[in-house]
Amino acid sequence: MKSILKGFGAALSVALPLLMQASAAAAATSSAFDPALVQRGAYLAKAGDCAACHTAPKGKPFAGGLPMNTPMGQIYTTNITPDSQTGIGGYTEQDFARAMREGVAKDGHNLYPAMPYPSYAKVNDDDMKALYAYFMSGVAPVQQANREADIAWPMNMRWPLKLWNMVFLEKGVYQNKPGKDVAWNRGAYLIQGLGHCGSCHTPRGIAFQEKALDESGSAFLTGSLLDGWFATNLTGEHNVGLGRWNDQDLQAFLKTGANRHATAFGSMTSVINNSTQALNDTDIAAMTTYLKSLPPAGGNGAPPYTYDPQATKVSLNRPANDAGARVYTAYCMHCHGVDGRGFAPMLAPLAGNPNVLEKDASSLINVTLNGTEDLVIGGIPAPYPMPKYAPVLTDQQIADVLTFVRAGWNNGAPAVTAADVTKLRKSTQAAR
């Protein structure tokens, strides 16, 4: 017994100083960052919407594990807490900046471009330093191992990403555009960089690259299908873009997720919940200035939308003659109204809604099937979230009602088929 205690004491005499040194090192690392810099980094992490991707449902903040669908298969976001074993606790500031801007982890492996490093490449050095300070000192470490991607060989090999970066990655931080004012440049920096709006709202090419990274490309922010949702056109296009939105409309949407034209759904809900509502008024105004400066691009080629309720009103007065009108009167009319104008911003309008006018109906099908998560503004959930109708309505009924809505109130958008609904129902069920 004495020998056991003696051995334990000897081990403790060796281990205790090491533990104390490790604790002191951790404390020194934590205290090495200016609190103001950490606070600035926390704000920038909100602007970058880092929590939305790196926090799984019911998971711990920034511990990763959120599944993301790609054309090659499902991948899982990584642990970006300062845990030294499973997170980024061992990253130097240079390691951190390289991962952010070039998509290369500390051990040298390439990250998939689902991580928006082509956008983060534009983040300036001061902001990168603040972000590093926050993730090293302002985030609680979580020991949670990263999960391997569900991508079969040989598509799971990472070395081709080096070639991808050589072709598609544009290095260099954002440079202010001459002839543009402070607000425009600040907005461009946030939209193109930390906000990485193009990651969802810009169409991608055959190699999964964004077809444009700024306003110099005609495809920039013209809308894109991603993970079962069609991310809206953000240019000045009249029908499906922001052409009919004034500055106050856009600012209200970024702060609350709703305005007189539309309501956020799908992945945009998490952007509002985790990111844009936390931004200060100056940055929201700057983002608005930049977005409203973009000329019309993309769109459906239809004449400018004008509201006309007459034909739809007749159909709703005699719904027995129209399968879509029957479903609308039973399930939709109490929220969206006979006039299709809803009760904005509480309940979204359907007449002239850019998402309704969009030729790709994926978002409408998805939100009708699966509903949407609550918008939570200032800690208060929205009172009337869109319910899911997948258990209630057949694919044909959903096709009928969406065809009715897309034709109603002079919307003039293409019909939806039952096959369209069946396809998206299967893909969203598989993703869940």
Give the C-alpha separation, 389 to 9, whole Å: 66
Consult the annotation and say whether 53 binds a ligand: yes
User: How far is Cα of residue 331 from the mean position of the Cα atoms in its chain?
Assistant: 29
Give kind and range of the element (H or E) at residue 323.
helix 323-331
- 261 annotated as ligand-binding: no
DSSP string covering 28-78, please? HHHHTS-HHHHHHHHHHHHHTTHHHHHB-TTPPTT-B--EEEETTEEEEPP
> What token pair was written down for 295?
């000329």
- Only one residue has tokens 């799971």, namely 156
Query: 3-class DSSP state for residue 211?
Result: coil
The H or E element that residue 376 is part of is strand 376-377
Q: How far apart are CA 53 and CA 257, in angstroms?
A: 18
Give helix 395-407 / helix 362-370 axis angle, nearest 10°. Answer: 130
238 is in an annotated binding site: no
Buried b (16+ CB within 10 A) or exposed e, 10-28: eeeeeeeeeeeeeeeeeee
User: Is 196 annotated as ligand-binding?
Assistant: no
Q: Check whether 332 is labelled as a binding-site residue.
A: yes
Residue ranges for the binding site for heme c?
A: 50, 53-54, 197, 200-201, 332, 335-336
Residue ranges for the binding site?
A: 50, 53-54, 197, 200-201, 332, 335-336
